[in-house]
């Protein structure tokens, strides 16, 4: 995991060790970009681009003492850069697993997806693009705080009658495993309702796959054809094994054949992602998606189902396909995804969106980003628009949490957060920035606003699950280290109960229930 810490380094000079200055080093941070010439510049001196790769700590777990013999160029790195991510599947699947009385596999826990499962009340922009909100609060551990970077797009309701038409290709897994209640049947019911809610000028195609793939409905406008679409959905039946590669390839071919200029062209993959037939190599499947993404701008929305679920494969597919993933385990969740979220959020407001946070060396001693492990971007690539970022639609909020240790007596500027994205139509790049001062950290975390509290609860919960409930972790896992002032699961459950009562929010009640279940399984 990306970590930054102040170290007093000594550079070798004629074999004589001299005292070095204080600097921050990062695990997998990448090179630092120049902030002095573009919109949203931080005003900090640009880091020295000749200092090397910037990945000095990629092979340690953060517990190694300072090594005076290490060759580290004396140039500070105060930057953290990542591609935006609105996935939520990791949290949904963890809740399902806990409800079934089992511990989630720590490898399936992605903290950012826990945090982003809760909608935040950030100010929204008038048009395409983002607003940037930065705040934070102190924890109970000396000099440690949680800093929240919040990004928001315009509300989905504002564009309901203005969005371009949609061309949706549904790629539906009908393998034998989809016969389990809550898989194919759930998808059929939800797709049926969604068909009635899409607009007349939208189009739908349906591809199924088991041991082989088949286009059962070519791209078809809904106007006058809803009955035909319903019939195709109702006739779906589970059959043999899971040839996911064939489904993806046929799905994208069908999407390309039915490509509509001026429309939002998207593939919606509904599967348990348990590939066991045909080409099961993830990289090979990903190559098929990447070509259609680059050549035709077709994005992917992955919907995971089932008690057994190929979480890692589905997430990689969505990332490569410029899309996002979610997970559904019951009728209410499926209805929300297919009948509310998908129709409202068909459009895109930002392509290749990336965020960069610059921490002030005068006030910050140490910081690290919570999660986003496979979404890290080299700092130099922040303003390189050829480098892939994340795709975000209307109605979304994106939250990134940082654990930050401030210097003793720190006062003044703490950090500047900048988001960069491309207009989905013109590919014109834009930036927006927000800043936070150390005074914003004066309030205690558990007295802060409910949005910051629920983000912290979700992050701490993911931290507990990722750590194996406090079990000793492999020393080779450099992605994870505990958050400061981490509450016990019991305390976490009590705080979630209290916040659920105060806010009277279903999503927070469900979070509290999941934490209680996790505690019962210890």
Residue 356 has pLDDT above 50, yes or no: yes
Q: Which region, left, alpha or beta, applies to residue 511 given φ > 0 means left and ψ of -120 to 50 means alpha?
A: alpha
Tokens representing residue 103 in the block: 């511990």
Alpha helix (H) residue ranges in 369-476: 450-466
pLDDT at site 141: 93
Question: pLDDT tens digits for 150-196?
Answer: 999 998 754 445 778 999 999 999 999 899 888 899 999 999 999 99
Within 8 A by CB and 6+ apart from 467, the residues are: 106, 473, 480, 482
d(CA 129, CA 350): 6
pLDDT at site 412: 97
Q: To which residue do tokens 């609060």 refer?
A: 137
* Mean pLDDT comparison of 18-27, 75-84, 334-343, 364-373, highest-scoring range: 364-373
Residue 349 has pLDDT above 50, yes or no: yes
More confident residue, 149 or 66: 149
pLDDT at site 469: 58
Q: Which region, left, alpha or beta, applies to residue 409 given φ > 0 means left and ψ of -120 to 50 means alpha?
A: left
pLDDT at site 215: 97
pLDDT at site 61: 37
Give the percent of the chain with pLDDT over 70: 82
Residue 17 has pLDDT above 60, yes or no: no
Give the percent of the chain with pLDDT over 90: 60
Residue 255 has pLDDT above 60, yes or no: yes
More confident residue, 92 or 156: 92
Residue 412 near residue 360, CB atoms below 8 Å = yes
pLDDT at site 280: 73
More confident residue, 8 or 106: 106
To the nearest whole number, what is the mean pLDDT of the chain?
A: 82
More confident residue, 176 or 146: 146
Residue 444 has pLDDT above 90, yes or no: yes
pLDDT at site 287: 80
Question: pLDDT tens digits for 65-80?
Answer: 333 322 322 234 799 9
Give the CB-side neighbour count of residue 381, counting CA atoms within 13 A: 18
| DSSP one-letter code for 337 | I
More confident residue, 156 or 213: 213
- Given pLDDT bands bounded at 50, 70 and 90, which one contains residue 277? confident
Report pTM. 0.81
Residue 127 has pLDDT above 60, yes or no: yes
d(CA 345, CA 331): 20
| DSSP one-letter code for 24 | E
pLDDT at site 473: 42
Residue 296 has phi, psi (to 5 degrees) of -125, -5
pLDDT at site 201: 93
Q: For the residues 370-396, what does the mean pLDDT come to?
A: 93
Question: pLDDT tens digits for 18-58?
Answer: 333 322 333 333 333 333 333 333 333 333 333 232 333 33
Nearest to 147 by CA among 136, 139, 156: 136
Residue 137 has pLDDT above 80, yes or no: yes
pLDDT at site 317: 87
């Amino acid at each position: 995991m990306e970590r930054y810490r102040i170290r007093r380094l000594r550079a070798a000079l004629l074999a004589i060790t001299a005292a070095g200055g204080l600097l921050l080093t990062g695990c997998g941070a990448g090179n630092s970009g120049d902030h002095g010439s573009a919109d949203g510049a931080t005003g900090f001196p640009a880091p020295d681009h000749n200092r090397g790769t910037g990945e000095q700590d990629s092979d340690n777990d953060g517990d190694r003492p300072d090594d005076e013999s290490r060759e580290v160029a004396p140039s500070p790195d105060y930057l953290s850069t990542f591609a935006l991510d609105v996935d939520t599947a990791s949290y949904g699947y963890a809740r399902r697993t806990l409800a079934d009385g089992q511990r989630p596999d720590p490898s399936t826990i992605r903290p950012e997806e826990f945090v982003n499962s809760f909608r935040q009340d950030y100010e929204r922009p008038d048009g395409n693009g983002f607003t940037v909100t930065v705040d934070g609060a102190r924890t109970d551990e000396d000099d440690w705080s949680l800093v929240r970077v919040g990004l928001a797009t315009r509300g989905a309701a504002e564009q309901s009658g203005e969005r371009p038409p949609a061309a949706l290709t549904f790629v539906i897994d009908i393998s034998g495993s989809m016969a389990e209640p809550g898989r194919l049947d759930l998808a059929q019911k939800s797709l049926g309702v969604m068909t009635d809610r899409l607009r007349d000028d939208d189009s739908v195609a349906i591809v199924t796959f088991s041991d082989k793939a088949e286009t059962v409905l070519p791209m078809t406008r809904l106007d006058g054809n809803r009955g035909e679409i319903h019939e195709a959905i109702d006739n779906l039946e589970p059959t043999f094994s899971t040839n996911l590669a064939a489904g993806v390839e046929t799905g994208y071919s069908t999407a390309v054949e039915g490509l509509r200029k001026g429309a939002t062209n998207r593939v919606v993959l509904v599967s348990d992602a348990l590939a066991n037939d045909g080409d099961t190599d993830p990289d090979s499947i990903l190559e098929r998606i990447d070509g259609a993404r680059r050549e035709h701008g077709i994005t992917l929305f992955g919907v995971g189902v089932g008690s057994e679920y190929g979480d890692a494969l589905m997430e990689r597919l969505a990332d490569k396909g410029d899309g996002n993933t979610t997970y559904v385990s019951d009728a209410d969740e499926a209805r929300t995804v297919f009948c509310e979220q998908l129709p409202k959020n068909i459009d895109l407001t930002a392509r290749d969106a990336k965020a960069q946070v610059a921490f002030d060396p005068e006030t910050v001693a140490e910081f690290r980003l919570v999660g986003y492990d496979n979404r890290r971007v080299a700092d130099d690539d922040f303003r390189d628009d050829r480098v892939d970022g994340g795709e975000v639609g209307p109605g979304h909020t994106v939250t990134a949490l940082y654990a930050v240790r401030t210097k003793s007596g720190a006062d003044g500027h703490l950090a500047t957060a900048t988001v960069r994205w491309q207009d989905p139509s013109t590919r014109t790049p834009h930036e927006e920035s927000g800043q936070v001062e150390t005074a914003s950290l004066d309030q205690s975390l558990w007295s802060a606003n409910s949005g910051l509290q629920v983000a912290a609860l979700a992050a701490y919960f993911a931290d507990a699950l990722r750590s194996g409930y406090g079990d000793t972790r492999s020393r080779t896992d450099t992605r994870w280290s505990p958050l400061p002032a981490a509450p016990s699961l019991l305390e976490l459950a009590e705080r979630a109960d209290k916040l659920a009562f105060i806010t009277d929010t279903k999503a927070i009640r469900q979070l509290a229930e999941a934490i209680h279940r996790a505690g019962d399984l210890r």
